[in-house]
Amino acid sequence: MGVDSADQAGYRRRRDRLLQDYAAIPPGAPVRLKKRTSNLFRTRRPVTTPGLDVTGFDGVLSVDPVARTAEVQGMTTYEHLLDVTLAHGLAPLVVPQLKTITLGGAVTGLGIESTSFRNGLPHESVLEMDVLTGDGRVVTATPEGEHAALYFGFPNSYGTLGYALRLTIELEPVHPYVRLAHVPFRSADELFAAMDEVVREQRWQGEPVRFVDATAFSEDELYLTLGFWADGAPYVSDYTGMEIFYRSLQTRREDYLTARDYYWRWDTDWFWCSRAFGAQNPRIRRLWPKRYLRSDAYWKLIGLEARYHVGERLDRAKGKPPAERVVQDVEVPIARAADFHTWLARETGIQPIWACPLRQRDPATTWDLYVMDSEITYVNFGFWSTVPLAPGQADGHHNRRIEQKVQELGGRKSLYSTSYYGEDEFWSLYGGEAYAQLKKEYDPQGRLLDLYSKTVRRH
């Protein structure tokens, strides 16, 4: 499918209208987007002013199956994007786990999945992007040219430099099926040693490995999940109904999924977070409409809980101690991954824990706001739970200790959730000097929040 001139003309009309809407916002008034969905877990201040309506920037403008590229609007969800590219036998190089994550959101806020050990993070496969900047322009940022600094500084900026309206991304070929091997381990040391070897060799027992992640149910029950492309399958499992994917790791050593179901294997139960809503109870699950077995449905329930605090009040009535929400993704060098896993399990009791290896795709590139050592493999740990607070411990106690431990081990954390860094510490970790230059160039009047104000909890 080549460029559709009607789609391109429609995109230009929406872009020009958005520029007019931006210019109409009074000076000094906060600027934000009007969005249907969010995958952020930060506590945000209430905003009463209307947001910029970017809902029209949703859709794939074109797919070039020969060049293996797609031109995509920034508010397009990965669910929509993947459906379009799969029709051409292609997929984005990294498909984050939740269906309603948008392409623009994954690029400005980072994203990761089981292809990240070979493809890095979503922004590394962006060829160019149109960005609505804080000073009210739309500029095209590429690795070379006038706006190259914005191209390399946009990832991890979380909309504080501007918003991606259109992106051209690389795609890769897919096969109809994915064969999975769930390899059990009895210790974190053994698991991460095996993961390190698979990442370096990109093979397991002589076969090319295309997907790698791991799940730890306890300190001595861990599974390395390896994915291999397959052109046929003796059967396919379905984890969009009564069966639950993460539980299958404990009972199956091999499994087969369609390519699409593999990419969304975690979305049906939001990894394992659906258990908080009773959706894993077989009696409740039978009555739960299948169309609501998906992450955005649980997200709406989270929003209701944040508004009405029903669960919190029930726990208090039962005499349970107050608990702190610990929702984080952090990256630690693989040489220290076992140390971090053991520490986290013992200090918080959170389980299961997800672990996913990643390496920077191009060792010669520097992404200014999220600098990684391109010579080493990192492990992303995802953990989403609550941890009881002992008497005298304030909310934020556990999250702050995790931040300190990650920094001690040479890692860093994603900023989609609440952070507690001091300002000097934060800018030393997240490209303070480069960010200041970009802010001066693309948002000199401070129409958008700065990165620290937007992502770190103020007390």
- Mean pLDDT value across residues 126-147: 96
Quick one: pLDDT at residue 3? 46
pLDDT tens track for 23-34: 999 887 878 776
Q: Domain limits of the chain? A: 5-174
Give the model confidence (pLDDT) of 304-334 as tens digits. Answer: 666 766 566 666 766 677 899 999 999 999 9
CA 341 vs CA 122, 186, 203, 385: distances in Å: 25, 13, 24, 15
pLDDT of residue 429: 95
Geometric angle at alpha carbon 251, from 331 and 379, rounded to 5°: 10
Q: For Cα atoms 231, 234, 235, give the angle at the middle one, nearest 5 degrees.
A: 105
Q: Residue 69: which residues within 8 A CB-CB, separation 6 or more? A: 63, 127, 168, 169, 170, 171
Whether pLDDT at 148 is above 80: yes
Q: Which of helix, strand or coil describes residue 232?
A: coil
CB 150 within 8 A of CB 204: no
Q: What are phi and psi for residue 430, nearest 5 degrees?
A: -125, 45
Structure tokens at 360: 């920077």
CATH code: domain 5-174 is 3.30.465.10
Place of tokens 């381990």: 185
Tens digit of each residue's pLDDT (9 = 90 or more) over 101-125: 999 999 999 999 999 999 999 999 9
Nearest one of 99, 110, 103 to 129, comparing CA atoms: 103
| Cα-based distances in Å from 10 to 4, 126, 191 | 10, 22, 50
- How many Cβ atoms are within 10 Å of 459's Cβ, its own excluded? 7
- Give the pLDDT band of residue 21 (cuts 50, 70, 90): very high
Measured between alpha carbons, how far is 108 from 133 in angstroms, rounded to an integer? 13
Give me the amino acid identity at 82.
Answer: L
Q: How confident is the model at residue 201 (pLDDT cuts 50, 70, 90)?
A: very high
Position 342 pLDDT exceeds 90: yes
Find the helix or strand (DSSP H, E) in which 223 lies.
strand 221-230
Give the pLDDT score at 2: 45
Distance CA 365, CA 84 (A): 30
pLDDT band for position 5 (cuts 50, 70, 90): low
| Rounded-to-integer distance, Cα 427 and Cα 436, Å | 10
What average pLDDT score do residues 431-443 get? 97
* Virtual torsion, Cα 277, 293, 290, 242, nearest 10 deg: -80
Nearest to 41 by CA among 114, 126, 98, 117: 98
CB-CB contact of 278 with 284 (8 Å): yes
Average pLDDT, the chain: 92
Residue 146 Cα to chain centre, angstroms: 29
> Does the pLDDT of residue 189 top 60, yes or no?
yes
3-state secondary structure of 328: strand
Which residues lie closer than 8 Å to 174 by C-beta, 6 or more apart?
Answer: 86, 89, 90, 91, 229, 259
The stretch 73-94 carries a mean pLDDT of 97
- Judge whether residue 97 has pLDDT over 60: yes
Q: At what angle do helices 337-348 and 397-408 cross, to 10 degrees?
A: 160
What is the model's pLDDT at position 45? 55
Average pLDDT of span 274-297: 93
* Tokens, residue 205: 């027992």
- pTM tops 0.85: yes
Return the pLDDT at 381.
97
47 or 8: which leads in pLDDT = 8
User: Residues 229-278: pLDDT tens digits?
Assistant: 999 999 999 999 999 999 999 999 999 999 999 999 999 999 999 998 89
- How far is the C-alpha of 96 from the C-alpha of 79, rounded, in Å? 10
- What is the model's pLDDT at position 397? 95
DSSP secondary structure of 167-194: EEEEEEE--SEEEEEEEEESSHHHHHHH
Say yes or no to pLDDT of 459 above 50.
no
Asked whether 218 and 351 are in contact (CB, 8 A), the reply is yes
Mean pLDDT of all residues in 127-131: 98
Q: Which of 168, 141, 109 is nearest to 370 (CA)?
A: 109
Two tokens at 7? 């789609």
pLDDT band at 301 (very low <50, low <70, confident <90, very high): confident
Q: Which residues contact 389 (CB under 8 A, 6 or more apart)?
A: 321, 322, 323, 324, 395, 397, 398
**Ranges assigned E (strand) in 40-176:** 52-53, 60-64, 69-73, 90-92, 126-133, 138-141, 162-173
pLDDT in tens, 371-382: 999 999 999 999
pLDDT band (50, 70, 90) for residue 20: very high
